[in-house]
Amino acid sequence: MKIRLNRYLAECGIASRRKAEELILDGRVEVNGKTIVDLAFFVEENDSVKYDGRLLRLESKVYFLLNKPKGYITSTADEKGRKTVLELINTKQKIFPVGRLDYNTKGVLILTNDGDFANLLMHPKNKVPREYHVLLDKELDGEHRLRLIKGITLEGSRGKFESIKFTKPKSFDRMNVVTHEGRNHFVKNMFGLLGYTVKELERVSYGGITTKNLPVGAYRLLTPGEIKKVFTDYAL
């Protein structure tokens, strides 16, 4: 059996296929004692594959849903010594977060060792919806609401919200927004362009997966139905 090297890294839980390609090009992967920088390279069944000098083995797939609390970074490690989301999940398998949530953002965070699953959720072409609950420092102007839905230029490219729905009658500083975007700080930056500060941010849904009945800081395994639905709804 042959498998492309970036896929092998993804299936070992190192990173998504796209990120694995960066690791290969950076010269961090060896096959049978030789550094490989060819993205088209295939690994065979008995090959010895090392990442940063560590021998890799294919692992069974795991999929966790975490209701991320504030005060944790969405990373596998932090040079500043801050708490990471991996500290909240008890598993012996090497997992990584699917996308990012800011340090003080809470809500839906998926962690897995399945690079294909992660890439499916994160790839812009798949337009996977992310829904956030937002509290602003002031009420959202009606004209600004329309602009955010129509689209504005952010960091050189167009960004937009698919919908903005206020969560309380006659209260226009609390809302749920839906976007297909996965850029870092996207929600905060979009509102920031129009003069608003996001005071609270919570991701309440990602690809239809929610933290319903899951307390803040708790986690659970995704159900087979949830996993299948992601592959069914968003596979290219």
> Given a cut of 90, is residue 189 above it in pLDDT?
yes
pLDDT in tens, 93-108: 889 999 999 999 999 9
Return the active site residues: 102
Written as one letter, the residue type at 193 is: L
β-pairing verdict for 54-55 and 49-51:
antiparallel
pLDDT the model gives residue 236: 60
128 Cβ neighbours under 8 A, 6+ residues apart: 120, 121, 122, 180, 182, 206, 207, 234
- pLDDT above 70 covers a percentage of the chain that reads 99
